[in-house]
């Protein structure tokens, strides 16, 4: 191993070890996030029954089934005879599957999480290495891999049961493999008469693999329907400006590409392609209607064009952001056609994201992020060539690691230093950028340290607080399942504790966006994972009156009367 490569290889290995440590730590710390119960239970029902019914209009089945695959060995109950299953109630069915099963919720959830986290990490790492090493150098590949490993968006989202990681890895893979098709030399074997035979074997392989990756993207998330036409357009444009194949031969390889893509789609959907188109149509219709979201103090139903640029700016480590900008500058300074496959796919996806009306998470631009890691890796590889470049690169990666560790183990809540770090994140973005219902365990640990007092809980999520040992009274809960509380009574509380999820603190899904704004001038006694704030209102007369009015608004007059009396009103 050359000295020029040994240092990047060591850095990449250390970063990968950190990535695995961080991912497993996050898995242990996080309760079920908002959609995980649905993805896991739906995927297991597909595997167990062979029928696509539960969540098929919202998400393609591949990623959900893959996540549920290790549960086959555990043999949990399926509840397919329950009315929740018969009436296609995915959140209620998911709640039943996770919290009423013979196995513990943590074992079911974390078995699936660990399984897919390892798979997504291996696929991302392999594709980044393949793409970057062939496009640039082994050193650039190792440093790109190191940057990927230090990006919290991958640590957190790859460790959750969702469709985002699958869509991102296969989007990236489609273009990485698509570029490898264009990089095959087409004149290798001389024939009689001075003619040359085209190297069809390599072209055939990469065309088929790119098609398979595109098909897997499509069966992971409906937004990936854009991938096949994009890859085809890139191939046609590439061959138009830099001719190397006769158009008839290129069209033949495109036919192979589309055949491989269609075969994957057909196999996963069990040759019921009408079901895919029905799900895609339903999803596009929902996306066009928009959704409530919060961004930097502003509430919107139809979105703002700058949502994802802002999220990218505050939730991406500075080394990746600045490195990608430097990598982009190097690409255009030393332009060659191969670089278009590195910059255009993320640029196109990012441009499309500016028009999206549903804006609930940075995770929706996850397909852009492996390209950012590669661009930054190219820039670090150039720095490595400088005198004492190894020390400089090592120091930058160490600073990046320190920045990421500030959020440990709550990597979903990562915000970079200019944004004020994770503690300031709730002022900028909420929902799946920060608060996906994952930090119930932190609330439970804090309450246990106080002797397990009951708490009034304005929770955003679907994880059952009582499963973590929280005795709570629900207030202003935003959930797709019924969370009725664990038996605590407001009138019997010695300490008046109120826990509020960040999404609810900002009023994202409330008609009255100022519902909990009065809490912003109060300091919480504890914050669980940067996303759930616990306030002690025991001696806060004004706070008790505000809280009583919220119970009144929900028509819960006995609780309100107790609080008014406690406030001396």
pLDDT for the residue 454: 97
Q: How far apart are CA 406 and CA 149, in angstroms?
A: 16
Query: Are 307 and 454 contained in the same domain?
Result: no
Query: Are 129 and 203 contained in the same domain?
Result: yes
Query: Are 23 and 53 contained in the same domain?
Result: no
| Domain membership flag for residue 414 | no
Query: Are 89 and 144 contained in the same domain?
Result: no
Query: Are 109 and 91 contained in the same domain?
Result: no
Which residue shows structure tokens 């309760």? 31
Pair 235, 247: CB distance under 8 Å: no
Pair 70, 479: CB distance under 8 Å: no
| Domain membership flag for residue 288 | yes
> In terms of DSSP bridges, do strands 455-458 and 472-474 run parallel, antiparallel, or are they unpaired?
parallel
Query: Are 388 and 269 contained in the same domain?
Result: yes
- Render pLDDT for 439-493 as a digit per residue (tens, 0 to 9): 999 999 999 999 999 999 999 999 999 999 999 999 999 999 999 999 899 999 9
User: Rounded mean pLDDT of the chain?
Assistant: 95
| Domain membership flag for residue 417 | no
Which of 45, 68, 103 terminates a domain? The answer is 103
Which of 103, 138, 161 terminates a domain? The answer is 103
Query: Are 443 and 506 contained in the same domain?
Result: yes
Distant-in-sequence, close-in-space partners of 104: CB < 8 Å, separation ≥ 6: none
Question: What percent of the residues of the chain are helix, what percent strand, and what percent coil, each to the nearest 5?
Answer: 65, 5, 30
- Render pLDDT for 48-97 as a digit per residue (tens, 0 to 9): 999 999 999 999 999 999 999 999 999 999 999 999 999 999 999 999 99
Bridge partners of residue 534, in order along the sequence: 499, 526
Percentage, residues of the chain above pLDDT 70? 96
Coil vs helix vs strand at 474: strand
- Render pLDDT for 245-294 as a digit per residue (tens, 0 to 9): 999 999 999 999 999 999 999 999 999 999 999 999 999 888 878 899 99
Mean pLDDT of the region 302-330: 97
Token pair, residue 42, equals 């739906």
Q: Tell whether the model's pLDDT for residue 199 goes beyond 70.
A: no
pLDDT for the residue 7: 87
Q: How far apart are CA 28 and CA 5, in angstroms?
A: 35
pLDDT for the residue 155: 98
| Domain membership flag for residue 426 | no
Query: Are 66 and 170 contained in the same domain?
Result: no
| Domain membership flag for residue 528 | yes
Pair 308, 354: CB distance under 8 Å: yes
| Domain membership flag for residue 424 | no
Which of 412, 416, 482 minimizes the C-alpha distance to 162?
A: 412
pTM for this predicted structure: 0.95
Q: How far apart are CA 208 and CA 268, in angstroms?
A: 17
Query: Are 190 and 232 contained in the same domain?
Result: yes
Token pair, residue 327, equals 């990598």
pLDDT for the residue 568: 85
Query: Are 21 and 64 contained in the same domain?
Result: no
Q: How far apart are CA 509 and CA 293, in angstroms?
A: 8
Q: How far apart are CA 440 and CA 460, in angstroms?
A: 10
Query: Are 60 and 172 contained in the same domain?
Result: no
What is the tally of structural domains in the chain? 3
Q: Tell whether the model's pLDDT for residue 196 goes beyond 90.
A: no
Band the pLDDT of 388: cuts 50, 70, 90: confident
Mean pLDDT of the region 114-130: 98
Neighbours of 302 (CB within 10 A): 12
| Domain membership flag for residue 369 | yes
| Domain membership flag for residue 76 | yes
Which residue shows structure tokens 């549920």? 68
Domain span at residue 129 reads 3-30+104-405
Q: How far apart are CA 564 and CA 496, in angstroms?
A: 13
Query: Are 91 and 205 contained in the same domain?
Result: no
Helices (H), 219-333: 227-241, 247-268, 273-289, 307-315, 318-333
CA distances (Å), origin 441, targets 76, 89, 448, 532: 23, 26, 10, 10
Q: Which helix (H) or strand (E) holds 68?
A: helix 62-68
Distant-in-sequence, close-in-space partners of 438: CB < 8 Å, separation ≥ 6: 29, 30, 31, 32, 33, 410, 412, 461, 463, 529, 531
Q: How far apart are CA 508 and CA 505, in angstroms?
A: 8
Which of 363, 388, 405 terminates a domain? The answer is 405
């Amino acid at each position: 191993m050359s000295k020029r490569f040994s240092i990047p290889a060591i850095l990449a290995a250390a970063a990968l070890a950190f990535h695995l440590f961080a991912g497993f730590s996050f898995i242990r710390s996080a309760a079920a996030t908002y959609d995980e119960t649905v993805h896991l239970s739906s995927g297991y029902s597909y595997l167990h029954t062979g029928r696509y019914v539960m969540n098929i209009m919202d998400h393609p089945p591949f990623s959900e089934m893959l996540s549920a695959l290790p549960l086959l060995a555990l043999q949990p109950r399926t509840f397919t005879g329950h009315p929740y299953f018969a009436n296609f109630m995915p959140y209620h069915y998911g709640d039943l599957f996770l919290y009423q099963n013979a196995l513990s919720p943590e074992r079911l959830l974390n078995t699936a999480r660990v399984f897919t986290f390892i798979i997504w990490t291996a696929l991302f790492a392999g594709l980044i290495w393949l793409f970057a090493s062939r496009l640039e150098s082994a050193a650039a590949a190792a440093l790109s891999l190191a940057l990927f490993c230090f990006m919290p968006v991958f640590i957190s989202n790859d460790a959750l049961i969702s469709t985002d990681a699958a869509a991102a890895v296969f989007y990236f893979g489609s273009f990485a493999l698509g570029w490898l098709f264009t990089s095959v030399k087409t004149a290798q074997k001389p024939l009689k008469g001075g003619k040359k035979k085209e190297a069809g074997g390599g072209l055939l392989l990469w065309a088929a693999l790119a098609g398979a990756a595109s098909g897997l993207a499509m069966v992971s998330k409906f937004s990936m329907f854009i991938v096949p036409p994009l890859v085809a357009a890139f191939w046609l444009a590439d061959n138009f400006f830099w001719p190397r194949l006769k158009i008839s031969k290129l069209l033949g390889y495109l036919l192979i590409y589309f055949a491989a893509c269609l075969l994957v789609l057909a196999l996963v959907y069990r040759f019921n392609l009408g079901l895919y188109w029905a799900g895609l149509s339903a999803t596009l219709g929902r996306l066009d209607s928009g959704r409530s979201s919060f961004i930097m103090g502003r509430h919107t139903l139809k979105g703002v064009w700058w949502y994802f640029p802002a999220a990218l700016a505050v939730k991406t480590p500075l080394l990746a952001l600045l490195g990608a900008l430097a990598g982009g500058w190097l690409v255009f300074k030393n332009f060659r056609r191969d670089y278009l496959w590195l910059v255009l796919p993320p640029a196109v996806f990012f441009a499309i994201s500016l028009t999206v009306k549903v804006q609930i998470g940075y995770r929706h631009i996850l397909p852009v992020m492996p390209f950012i890691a590669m661009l930054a890796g190219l820039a670090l590889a150039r720095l490595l060539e400088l005198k004492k470049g190894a020390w400089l690169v090592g120091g930058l990666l160490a600073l990046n690691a320190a920045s990421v560790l500030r959020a440990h183990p709550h990597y979903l809540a990562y915000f970079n230093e200019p944004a004020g770090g994770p503690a300031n994140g709730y002022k900028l973005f909420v929902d799946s950028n920060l608060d996906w219902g994952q930090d119930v365990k932190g609330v439970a640990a804090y309450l246990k340290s106080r002797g397990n007092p009951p708490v009034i809980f304005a929770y955003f999520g679907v994880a059952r607080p009582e499963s973590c040992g929280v005795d709570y009274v629900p207030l202003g809960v935003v959930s797709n399942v019924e969370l009725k509380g664990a038996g605590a009574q407001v009138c019997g509380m010695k300490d008046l504790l109120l826990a509020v999820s960040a999404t609810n603190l900002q009023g994202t899904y409330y008609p009255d966006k100022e519902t909990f704004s009065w809490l912003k001038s109060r300091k919480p006694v504890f914050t669980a994972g940067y996303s759930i704030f616990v306030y002690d209102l025991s001696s806060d007369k004004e706070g008790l009156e505000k809280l009583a009015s919220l119970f009144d608004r929900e028509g819960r007059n006995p609780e309100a009367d107790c609080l008014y009396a406690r406030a001396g009103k």
